[in-house]
């Protein structure tokens, strides 16, 4: 089942919830954070990232459940995608799938990106299935790319090109 999600521009009102999620053990490991994250340090990061488009993911009741972002390299017409559903009770409801579709539409239509790329940890099979379903192509494995909790973790690099996205969209609309 896919629940409809809405994306809202990320603002200071989303910081406290986001920091709570990012400080949780699960997301901390997922993103490889080492030090403590405060609302103030997170806000500084957001404000120092003018080339990054960040949206809060809201469920049908308007509850902030996660975030998605595109870090844009305008010179290369490329965007690095990240997304997470931070609220555990919101996972498995299809919010991530809807947020992915909306973020890709913004990247390819509004920003006229040529390429969107992302990383997954090699053991994140659910994320890989979602990205594959939505047309992402595995480019390669970055072996032992991240060190977390005293061990090295490989990550997979995925991408999608604008023409691939358009073809998939046309097929799904027909």
- Name 162's Cβ contacts closer than 8 Å, sequence gap at least 6: 108, 112, 113, 114, 115
Question: CB atoms < 10 A from the CB of 82, how many?
Answer: 16
Q: Spell out the residues 6+ positions from residue 164 whose beta carbon is closer than 8 angstroms to its own.
A: 135, 137
Each residue's pLDDT, cut to its tens digit, for the chain (174 residues) gives: 566 899 999 999 999 999 999 888 777 766 666 777 889 999 999 999 889 999 999 999 999 999 999 999 999 999 999 999 999 999 989 999 999 999 999 999 999 999 999 999 888 898 999 999 999 999 999 999 988 778 898 999 999 999 999 999 998 887
Closest by alpha carbon to 29, among 159, 173, 164, 155? 155
pLDDT at position 37:
86
pLDDT at 32: 64
Tell me the C-alpha distance between 3 and 103, whole Å. Answer: 16
Domains (range + CATH), the chain: 6-173 (3.40.630.30)
């Amino acid at each position: 089942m896919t629940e409809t999600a809405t994306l809202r521009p990320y603002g200071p009102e989303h910081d406290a919830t986001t920091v709570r999620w990012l400080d949780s053990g699960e997301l901390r490991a997922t993103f490889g954070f080492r030090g403590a994250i405060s609302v103030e340090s997170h806000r500084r990061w957001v404000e120092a990232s003018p080339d990054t488009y960040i949206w809060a993911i809201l469920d049908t009741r308007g509850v902030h459940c996660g975030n998605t972002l595109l870090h844009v390299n305008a010179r290369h017409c490329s965007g690095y995608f990240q997304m997470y559903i931070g609220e555990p009770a919101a996972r498995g409801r299809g919010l991530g799938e809807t947020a992915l579709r909306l973020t890709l539409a913004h990247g390819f239509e509004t920003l006229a990106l040529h390429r969107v790329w992302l990383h997954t940890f090699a053991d994140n099979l659910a994320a890989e299935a979602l990205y594959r379903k939505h047309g992402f192509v595995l480019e390669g494995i970055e072996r032992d790319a991240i060190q977390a909790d005293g061990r090295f973790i490989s990550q997979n690099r995925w991408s999608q090109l604008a023409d691939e996205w358009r073809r998939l969209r046309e097929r799904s609309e027909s």
